[in-house]
Amino acid sequence: MAEFALIDRLRQRATATVLARGDVALGIGDDAALLDPPKGRQLALAVDTLVEGVHFPKGVPASAIGWKALAVNLSDLAAMGAEPAAALLALTLPSDDAGFVDEFAAGFSALADTHRVALVGGDTTRGPLAVSVTVVGYVPKGDALTRSGAAADDDLWITGTLGDAAGALALWKAGTPMLRTGSLRERLDRPSPRLGAGCALRGLATACIDVSDGFLADLGHLLAMSGVGADIDVDTLPVSAALLDAFPDLSTRRALQLSGGDDYELCFTAPAKKREAVLAALDAAATPVARVGRITVGASLRLFDLDGLPVALPPRRGYVHFSGETA
Amino acid sequence: MAEFALIDRLRQRATATVLARGDVALGIGDDAALLDPPKGRQLALAVDTLVEGVHFPKGVPASAIGWKALAVNLSDLAAMGAEPAAALLALTLPSDDAGFVDEFAAGFSALADTHRVALVGGDTTRGPLAVSVTVVGYVPKGDALTRSGAAADDDLWITGTLGDAAGALALWKAGTPMLRTGSLRERLDRPSPRLGAGCALRGLATACIDVSDGFLADLGHLLAMSGVGADIDVDTLPVSAALLDAFPDLSTRRALQLSGGDDYELCFTAPAKKREAVLAALDAAATPVARVGRITVGASLRLFDLDGLPVALPPRRGYVHFSGETA
């Protein structure tokens, strides 16, 4: 297999999307791709790498790796309130494995087509399995959501449910049969970036971040960038039926929700007076959302239970990918 | 060292450039960066990965790796006639080596600052040493140079000199002391992307490609995309004094010029009536250029010597990075 075989496969799959978009003046195959951004839009740019053994265990299906490598990047665009336009893929593969390549391309393309993302660049190299994706999105000028706008008394919200992917990983590590981890495992392997929700939150959210390293870790980034603190009602953190079923023990489940990674939900803040508007916007975007706390003056992050009693912060707040350890 | 240490170092170095550019609305530190592209410009997008042991040997200084990872991508923008604006960096590092990180950042930043490239995104992961860079450039709408516009009777041109980087690699592999490979080695470690030349060729060149995999290999891509052939006067291929000195044997030297990789020169075509204009434009861009052949009808690629006698094509036309073998 030559260097271009995978890229050719992906290009063929992407042709319909490229043609349908209208903003791709030149796709894969030259020294660079050419894109015509719409007027009045800012470009949102992000890059994220997945490495086997660090971001996903050995044995994950190739289609899930293809899907997830794009998903984690689209989640960054969602957190900015941007709509995705194009992606560039740098793939490092240990060997010429046509089956792997076909499955990878199928997974990547399935998500790309869903969100009309045009693959406009790619580079394949030989080496230990790693995927680096760069995404380009558009957002109306001045409307982007950032991490830095949260203000005291804002509501704190979270989309979807927390802890499912971390739960799936824990079950997998414990040797639990796939049959029993089904819907949780799907959250780990094929996360759904909250793109509709991100766009719907423009003009409503004061700050936003996607939850990739764990709820407390990413909330910490948002609070630090905004220069505020937060009080969290831990019992209101949204939980899936599957997680409840698989982890009946409260403290185990809570740890997964607070510190587990790979949720790819949006954590955002909005003024309390926008509460109804937030609910309506996310209902229109078909995205479940839960109000889980409020922003406070200062830098403290505090947890409370249903009775208003303080809950200790877990010692581990999230996963630091680089070191492979939690921090 | 946490995941963000390298990115922080690079961000600090990049601050002046980001501020000076004026089109970076939001730099590193949020879920995505925000860029305001100038009106009437298309975006040029490219990605390229360098893997230790495949694209550069073990033992290359970290500053050279940082420089080169950006240079090979800027060379792609040069080949499109685009001016660089921003870069995103995905770095995989085997260990927490502060010295390596500092040197890498110094090399990357030195080239970025030279061409006013703003680093707007980065991701660091642990694993075998690899660097993937995505670049964003601007080109006036419709003015981009592509590989597909060469026409019969066009002149064929090449900037700079060919074979220097391949010569340096050959000397290095043969154990030649660094002292004797100096200027050639610089071409291998710190290639200078021909950005000024690329922009100067807008409206003049009919097709353009950068020479990264070897002159014949990359010329082959241009010819195939344009649906034409070429006759090359091999004795006019530009050669450096250093290569002449290090490789006095004609056939060895010629093989390096025809098939050696990593030149990062521009190979382009232009109508014969634009000959003087090409020379003037590249003189203004302070870029040496040589006319080395002409485009022909059909798909043949033929080499001729000074006497007009045919020269055999070398069996190896270029380096196929993925397989690690020549093809």
Tens-place pLDDT, residues A32-66: 999 999 999 999 999 999 988 888 888 889 999 99
**How far is the C-alpha of B152 from the C-alpha of B280, rounded, in Å?**
23
How close does chain A come to B168, measured CA to CA in Å? 23
Q: Tell me whether residues B82 and A124 touch, CB distance under 8 A.
A: no
Low-confidence ranges of chain B (pLDDT < 50): 1-3, 320-327
Asked if A68 and A56 count as a contact pair (C-beta separation under 8 A), the reply is yes
Other beta carbons within 10 angstroms of residue B241's beta carbon come to 9
Q: Judge whether A149 is closer than 8 Å to chain B, CB to CB.
A: no
The number of beta carbons lying within 10 Å of the beta carbon of residue B306 is: 9
Residue of B nearest to A34 (CA): B44
Interface predicted TM-score (ipTM) over 0.90: yes
**Residue A304, helix vs strand vs coil:** strand
Tokens of A15: 């042709």
A316 touches chain B (CB under 8 A): no
pLDDT-based confidence at residue A97 (cuts at 50, 70, 90): confident
Quote the pLDDT of residue B194: 98
Number of CB atoms found within 10 A of residue A19's CB: 11
B 69-88: CB under 8 A from A: 76-77, 79-80, 82, 86, 88
For A299, the token pair is 């830098």
Q: Do B96 and A47 touch (CB under 8 A)?
A: no
Q: How far apart are CA B25 and CA A147, in angstroms?
A: 14
**Which residues on B lie below 8 Å from A40 (Cβ)?**
none
What would the pLDDT profile of A222-249 be if each residue is shown by its tens digit? 999 999 999 999 999 999 999 999 999 9
Single out the residue of B166, B268, B286 nearest to residue B223, CA to CA: B268
pLDDT, tens digit (0-9, with 9 covering 90-100), for B271-327: 999 999 999 999 999 999 999 999 999 989 999 999 999 999 887 655 544 433 333
A124 shares contact with chain B (CB less than 8 Å): yes
CA B104 from chain center: how many Å? 19
pLDDT score of A324: 38
* pLDDT at position A325 over 50: no
Look at residue A211 in the predicted model and tell me its pLDDT.
Answer: 97
| CA distance linking residue B273 with residue A70, whole number of Å | 48
Round to whole Å and give the CA distance between A213 and B7: 17
- The pLDDT of residue B1 is 43
Q: What is the CA radius of gyration of chain A?
A: 20
> Residue A217 burial (CB < 10 Å; 0-12/13-18/19+)?
buried
Which one of A49, A148, A320 has the shortest CB-CB distance to B92? A49
Choosing among A47, A54, A206, which should be mutated to test the B contact, i.e. which has the most B CBs within 10 A? A47
Instruction: Please determine, for residue A2, whether its predicted confidence score (pLDDT) is greater than 80.
Output: no
The predicted pLDDT at position B13 comes to: 79
Nearest-Cα residue of chain A relative to residue B46: A32
Q: Work out the minimum CA distance from A120 to partner chain B, whole angstroms.
A: 8
Looking at CA atoms only, how far is residue B216 from chain A in angstroms?
16
Alpha carbon distance A270, B29 (integer Å): 21
Rounded to a whole number of angstroms, the distance from the CA of B82 to the nearest CA of chain A is 9
For an interface test with B, which of A131, A132, A206, A320 has the most B Cβ atoms less than 10 Å from its Cβ? A132
Contact status of A139 with chain B (Cβ, < 8 Å): yes
